[in-house]
């Protein structure tokens, strides 16, 4: 099943020379990448299945330059694709052949650290982990920690509403930012929020977060920083099967305990991790659950004992409690390496990202196994167990004819299954191009029309990152006029791409 | 069409389809429609008399509650008190502690609906740690100003599928859509709580010093400075709340008390019951009780005191005030004035950042004065385009937030 992007507009391609000349008036030559070979480096993000050569890549260094680029793009009716560190797993920053790729990598400065107000003001190209490093000495950190945190940028985190292993307790990006500076299509600049809480009017800060680069270009982010908990300890629990592990996770939450992190891996993943970088996971376990408890010494000791008892009652076959910071980090090392490790057991993998109500895990697992067999592929599973976010890793071999298509088809079937049990297509990776054509599984045409109307409020000509998130493109005027009759929109025969 | 009850307030449909038809019909006529649950917050926002109204009061009932999954769904008109009781029976709660505006606005306590709570993005003193309604709304269904039934989000904890419209409806005061059903994240109640009360400090010193002392590892979940007499307490006092397992609360109380000793002042401990009573009062702005006009200001924690200081220097007739959210939330009660002191207040706040909302004043004043913080031109224009995207005919709660729509 080939992914169809909107056909490049001949009218834009024809004016590439003019565009380059006008960009040269905004940016120094070194910040414009027009050469084909150099542009190739940008042809995809971490969703590598699909690629496109951008019309031109620009790497501005100032907000004024971003404004000028956005004004020029609007004036020339050229598309723009914003890009942070290029680590999107859903193709959120996949370039368009008729679009400017606007890279924010040179916006890499931490502008202000304000400990008293518990926040930091940073440029969007700053690495996620760099924020925590910058405030570490003072005992602070930035809570959301996606697996890609050594590479991904905070601007990209805002675009995708990135999560991580600690978000059940500490929230996603959206719960950990206070303010944004955004350049709209056309070059207008707006600020949402600041160092204070809540919005004065509509919560556009919240709307921007997770909008996948379709509404505006983020040029500054004010993040909340938290004081690091005094103590953190990990438990490594082994279970005979995933179902017992899932039961234990449910029992911990039912007991009123919200751990700082709670992750689960199935046996194929455990084996892959142990082969990649041994970290003491029990190879014979059907599943392991890593539980991290943080807080004060007294609280953590109390909770560790409580969780250990619950695990025993749920039939844990092994139970290790970290006795040192090094051991705690070792428990996590395997989890953080799970994706690269899985490459050891299959040449390529496709990472899915559905979220399901946790109680439905056993039937979803059985269903996934059945689907994998149907498609003749294997699946390894990593779960953010506390919040029901699944990362099935579909193993395939890109060099084998038909394997890519089978992997994609299996991925789609797995996500359909997630939606069918009351879950969603994506918990933290974004829709991008990857899950775009599945949006109809979760939303009606009317639901999607409302979302597209919101986009029109920001980008009336549909020039910002088009072809992502929404399976069909509608002109804003048409959306405005559209009336829904009997639950169906007119123009059912509109071309889908 | 199913039977739609008519009340003094207007239509009270019990099904979303009927509500959609009412809205579509009003949109076709271009007739403004006021939207409410039980009307407990009718006095909030700009005052605009509207001939026709619709209430969600007949759309009630919890439709999903799975304690182990930390999720609850309810139809928009469900009384908040009913939901709180249901959660309480399972040792859970809405962690953001939604404020009850009733008493402050001269109404009865406990009259709010879950839909109204979302519509004003309610929160309480735990906002600094646990967030507001916006941080807990996982998904919703609504009828937009076009009369279309739209859903967004879901029932799972982690979801980035499509735009996060949940954030938009929180705090939109019904101006974008009429909520019909909401799904919220619920959390375990802390096992117990205690509050340390420090008296005998000057207001500025209390705010600055305690802000530094109150962080981890003590995990203070609420921090208020009450210069006026709080119920049963001598003022001015700083109050710091500790919540969690008993063993942890006790250890942190000792740790915190030790840190506070450096600042002078007398330190006392409130037990769980007294602590709960205090924070319920602070949540509902009870320390402001009395006649006058009331404002709520959100600013950076370090700016709260500077703002109040600037107001005093400008000669604003302050009758009462207090700080919550570690100094970032300022509640004011002032002697009445025809402009409710909007000019003075917003001028004092402008260099500090944040927003000021007029919470209580006469109807005529709330019709004249900008109740919500005015926005810069580009942001105001964008806000209006967002409104248009949901409600192009401007029929829902016309004038409630802005005179222009």
Nearest residue, CB atoms, B216 vs list A160, A229, A469: A229
B156 contacts A355? CB cut-off 8 A: yes
Nearest residue, CB atoms, A230 vs list B148, B216, B383: B216
Nearest residue, CB atoms, A447 vs list B150, B299, B329: B150
B248 contacts A200? CB cut-off 8 A: no
Nearest residue, CB atoms, B386 vs list A171, A449, A454: A454
Per the CB < 8 A criterion, the answer to whether A105 and A59 are in contact is yes
Given pLDDT bands bounded at 50, 70 and 90, which one contains residue A311? very high
Superfamily of domain B286-368: ACT domain (3.30.70.260)
DSSP letter (8 states) at residue B297: E
B165 contacts A450? CB cut-off 8 A: yes
A204 contacts B386? CB cut-off 8 A: yes
| Domain B1-189+375-405 and domain B286-368 have a common topology | no
Domains observed in chain A: 10-103 (3.30.43.10), 110-227 (3.30.465.10), 231-340 (3.30.70.3450), 346-434 (3.30.70.2740), 445-497 (no CATH)
Nearest residue, CB atoms, B68 vs list A209, A254, A446: A254
Residue B126 confidence (pLDDT) = 97
Q: State the Rg of chain B over Cα.
A: 22
Per the CB < 8 A criterion, the answer to whether B285 and A330 are in contact is no
CA A162 to chain centre: 5
Residue A486 confidence (pLDDT) = 46
Residue A323: which residues within 8 A CB-CB, separation 6 or more? none
Both tokens of residue B277?
């009573």
Residue B179 confidence (pLDDT) = 98
Task: Tell me the pairing of strands B149-153 and B137-144.
Answer: antiparallel
Question: Would you list the domain boundaries of chain B?
Answer: 1-189+375-405, 192-283, 286-368
Per the CB < 8 A criterion, the answer to whether A60 and A46 are in contact is no
Q: Does B236 sit behind a cis peptide bond, omega within 30 degrees of 0 on the bond before it?
A: yes
Query: For A246-305, what is each residue's pLDDT tens digit?
Result: 999 999 999 999 999 999 999 999 999 999 989 899 999 999 999 999 988 889 999 999
A384 contacts B390? CB cut-off 8 A: no
Distance from CA of A82 to the nearest CA of B (A): 17
Give contacts of A188 with chain B, Cβ < 8 Å: 378
**Which of the residues A159, A169, A196, A358 would you substitute to probe the B interface, choosing the one with the greatest number of B C-beta atoms within 10 Å?**
A196
pLDDT, mean over chain A: 93
Residue A134 confidence (pLDDT) = 98
What is the pLDDT averaged over residues A154-161? 98
Query: For A5-25, what is each residue's pLDDT tens digit?
Result: 889 999 999 999 999 999 999
Angle, helix A267-276 to helix A325-336, in steps of 10 degrees: 110
Cα angle B204-B210-B216, degrees, rounded to a multiple of 5: 155
Give contacts of A483 with chain B, Cβ < 8 Å: 146
Separation of alpha carbons B215 and B220, rounded Å: 6
B298 contacts A435? CB cut-off 8 A: no
Residue of B nearest to A216 (CA): B382
User: In chain A, what percentage of residues exceed pLDDT 70?
Assistant: 96
B168 contacts A296? CB cut-off 8 A: no
A239: enclosing H helix or E strand: strand A231-239
Residue A487 confidence (pLDDT) = 47
A199 contacts B171? CB cut-off 8 A: yes
B167 contacts A209? CB cut-off 8 A: yes
Q: State the Rg of chain A over Cα.
A: 23
Per the CB < 8 A criterion, the answer to whether B263 and B108 are in contact is no
CA B213 to chain centre: 27
Separation of alpha carbons A295 and A302, rounded Å: 11
**Which of the residues B158, B174, B324, B325 would you substitute to probe the A interface, choosing the one with the greatest number of A C-beta atoms within 10 Å?**
B158
Per-block mean pLDDT, blocks of 10 residues, chain B (405 long): 48 97 95 95 92 95 96 98 98 98 95 98 97 98 97 96 98 98 97 93 82 77 81 75 94 90 85 97 94 98 96 96 96 98 98 98 96 98 98 96 95
Separation of alpha carbons A30 and A26, rounded Å: 12
Separation of alpha carbons A339 and A334, rounded Å: 9
CA A364 to chain centre: 22
Whether the per-residue pLDDT at A51 is higher than 80: the answer is yes
B91 contacts A450? CB cut-off 8 A: no
Separation of alpha carbons A443 and A455, rounded Å: 16
Q: How many CB pairs under 8 A join A and B?
A: 270
Per the CB < 8 A criterion, the answer to whether B52 and B29 are in contact is no
Distance from CA of A24 to the nearest CA of B (A): 28
CATH 3.30.420.40 is held by the domain B192-283: no
Whether the per-residue pLDDT at A356 is higher than 90: the answer is yes
Query: For A451-485, what is each residue's pLDDT tens digit?
Result: 999 999 999 999 999 999 999 888 898 888 776 55
Distance from CA of A401 to the nearest CA of B (A): 31
Burial class of residue B180, CB neighbours in 10 A (0-12, 13-18, 19+) = buried
A169: enclosing H helix or E strand: helix A167-170
Distance from CA of B109 to the nearest CA of A (A): 24
**What fold does the segment set B1-189+375-405 form as a domain?**
3.30.465
Residue B207 confidence (pLDDT) = 87
Burial class of residue A277, CB neighbours in 10 A (0-12, 13-18, 19+) = middle
B382 contacts A227? CB cut-off 8 A: no
Per-residue b or e along A85-117, where b marks 16 or more CB atoms closer than 10 Å to that residue's CB = bbbbbbbbbbbbbbbbbbbbbebeebeebebeb
Query: For A174-228, what is each residue's pLDDT tens digit?
Result: 999 999 999 999 999 999 999 999 999 999 999 999 999 999 999 999 999 999 9
Both tokens of residue B186?
């619920």
Per the CB < 8 A criterion, the answer to whether A142 and A110 are in contact is no
The candidate with the shortest Cα–Cα distance to B220, out of B265, B185, B190, B199, is B190
Whether the per-residue pLDDT at A317 is higher than 60: the answer is yes
B298 contacts A426? CB cut-off 8 A: no
Per the CB < 8 A criterion, the answer to whether B383 and B373 are in contact is no
SS (H, E, C) B168-211: HHCCCCCCCEEEEEEEEECEECCCEEEEEEEECCCHHHHHHHHH
* Residue B224 to residues B193, B204, B211, B240, B331, Cα–Cα distance (Å): 15, 12, 10, 7, 11
Residue B2 confidence (pLDDT) = 41
B378 contacts A189? CB cut-off 8 A: yes
Residue of B nearest to A164 (CA): B158
**Which of the residues A182, A202, A214 would you substitute to probe the B interface, choosing the one with the greatest number of B C-beta atoms within 10 Å?**
A202
């Amino acid at each position: 099943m080939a992914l169809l992007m909107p056909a490049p507009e001949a009218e834009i391609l024809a004016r590439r020379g003019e565009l380059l000349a006008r960009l040269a008036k905004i940016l120094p030559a070194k910040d414009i990448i027009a050469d084909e070979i150099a542009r190739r480096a940008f042809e995809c993000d971490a969703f590598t299945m699909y690629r496109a050569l951008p019309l031109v890549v620009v790497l501005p260094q100032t907000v004024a330059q971003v404004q000028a680029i956005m004004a020029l793009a609007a004036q020339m009716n050229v598309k723009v694709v914003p890009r942070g560190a290029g680590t999107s797993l859903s193709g959120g920053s996949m370039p368009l052949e008729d679009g400017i790729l606007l890279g924010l990598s040179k916006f890499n400065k931490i502008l202000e650290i304000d400990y008293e107000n518990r926040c930091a003001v940073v440029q969007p190209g700053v690495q996620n982990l760099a924020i925590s490093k910058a405030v570490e000495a003072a005992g602070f950190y930035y809570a959301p920690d996606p697996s890609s945190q050594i590479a991904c940028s905070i601007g990209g985190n805002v675009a995708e509403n990135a999560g991580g292993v600690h978000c059940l307790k500490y929230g996603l990006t959206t719960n950990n930012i206070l303010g944004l500076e955004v350049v709209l299509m056309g070059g207008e600049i707006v600020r949402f929020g600041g160092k204070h809480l809540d919005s004065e009017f509509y919560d556009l800060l919240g709307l921007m977060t997770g909008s996948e680069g379709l509404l505006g270009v983020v040029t500054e982010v004010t993040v909340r920083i938290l004081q690091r908990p005094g103590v953190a300890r990990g438990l490594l629990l082994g279970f005979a099967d995933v179902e017992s592990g899932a039961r234990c996770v449910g029992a911990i939450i039912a007991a009123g305990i919200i751990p700082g992190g709670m992750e689960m891996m199935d046996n194929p993943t455990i084996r892959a991790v142990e082969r990649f970088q041994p970290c003491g996971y029990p190879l014979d376990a059907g599943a392991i659950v890593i539980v991290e408890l943080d807080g004060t010494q007294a609280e953590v000791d109390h909770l560790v004992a409580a969780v250990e008892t619950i695990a025993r009652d749920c039939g844990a076959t092994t139970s290790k409690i970290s006795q040192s910071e090094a051991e705690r980090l070792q428990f996590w090392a395997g989890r953080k390496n799970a994706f690269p490790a899985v490459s050891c057991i299959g040449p390529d993998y496709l990472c899915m990202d559905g979220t399901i109500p946790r109680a439905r895990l056993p039937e979803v697992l059985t269903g996934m196994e059945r689907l994998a067999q149907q498609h003749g592929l294997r699946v390894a599973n990593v779960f953010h167990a506390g919040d029901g976010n699944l990362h099935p890793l579909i193993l395939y071999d890109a060099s084998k004819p038909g394997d890519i298509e089978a992997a994609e088809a299996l991925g789609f079937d797995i996500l359909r299954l997630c939606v069918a049990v009351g879950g969603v297509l994506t918990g933290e990776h974004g829709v991008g191009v990857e899950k775009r054509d599945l949006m109809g599984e979760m939303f009606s045409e009317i639901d999607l029309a409302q979302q597209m109307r919101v986009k029109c409020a920001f980008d009336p000509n549909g020039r910002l990152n088009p072809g992502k998130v929404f399976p069909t493109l509608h002109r804003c005027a048409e959306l405005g006029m559209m009336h829904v009759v009997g639950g169906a929109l007119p123009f059912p025969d509109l071309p889908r791409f | 069409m199913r039977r739609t009850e008519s009340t003094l307030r207007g239509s009270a449909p019990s099904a979303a389809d009927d509500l959609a038809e009412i809205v579509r019909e009003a949109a076709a006529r271009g007739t403004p429609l006021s939207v409410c649950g039980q009307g407990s917050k009718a006095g909030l926002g700009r005052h605009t008399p509207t001939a026709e109204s619709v209430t969600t009061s007949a759309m009630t009932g919890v439709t999903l509650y799975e304690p182990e999954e930390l999720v609850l769904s309810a139809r928009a008109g469900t009384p908040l008190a009913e939901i709180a009781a249901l959660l309480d029976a399972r040792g859970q709660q809405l962690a953001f502690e939604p404020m009850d505006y009733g008493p402050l606005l001269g109404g009865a306590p406990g009259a709010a609906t879950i839909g109204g709570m979302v519509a004003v993005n309610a929160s309480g003193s735990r906002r600094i740690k646990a967030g507001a309604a916006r941080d807990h709304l996982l998904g919703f269904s609504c009828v937009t100003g076009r009369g279309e039934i739209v859903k967004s989000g879901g029932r799972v904890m982690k979801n980035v599928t499509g735009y996060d419209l949940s954030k938009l409806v929180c705090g939109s005061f019904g101006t974008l859509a009429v909520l019909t059903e909401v799904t919220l994240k619920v959390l375990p109640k802390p096992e117990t709580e205690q509050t340390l009360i420090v008296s005998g400090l000057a207001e500025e010193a209390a705010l600055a010093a305690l802000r530094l002392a109150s962080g981890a590892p003590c995990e203070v979940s609420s921090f208020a400075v009450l210069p006026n007499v709080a119920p049963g307490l001598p003022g001015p006092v700083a109050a710091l709340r500790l919540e969690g397992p008993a063993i942890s609360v006790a250890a942190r109380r000792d740790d915190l008390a030790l840190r506070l000793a450096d600042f002078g002042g007398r330190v006392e401990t409130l037990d769980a019951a007294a602590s709960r009573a205090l924070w319920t009062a602070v949540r509902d702005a009870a320390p402001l009780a009395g006649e006058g006009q009331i404002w709520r200001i959100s600013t950076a924690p370090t700016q709260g005191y500077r703002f109040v200081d600037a107001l005093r220097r400008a000669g604003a007739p302050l009758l009462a005030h207090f700080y919550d959210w570690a100094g970032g939330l300022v509640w004011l009660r002032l002697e009445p004035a025809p402009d409710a002191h909007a000019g003075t207040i917003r001028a004092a706040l402008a260099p500090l950042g944040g927003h000021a909302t007029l919470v209580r004043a006469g109807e005529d004043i709330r019709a004249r004065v900008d109740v919500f913080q005015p926005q810069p031109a580009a942001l105001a224009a964008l806000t209006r385009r967002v409104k248009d995207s949901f409600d192009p005919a401007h029929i829902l709660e016309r004038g409630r937030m802005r005179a222009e729509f």
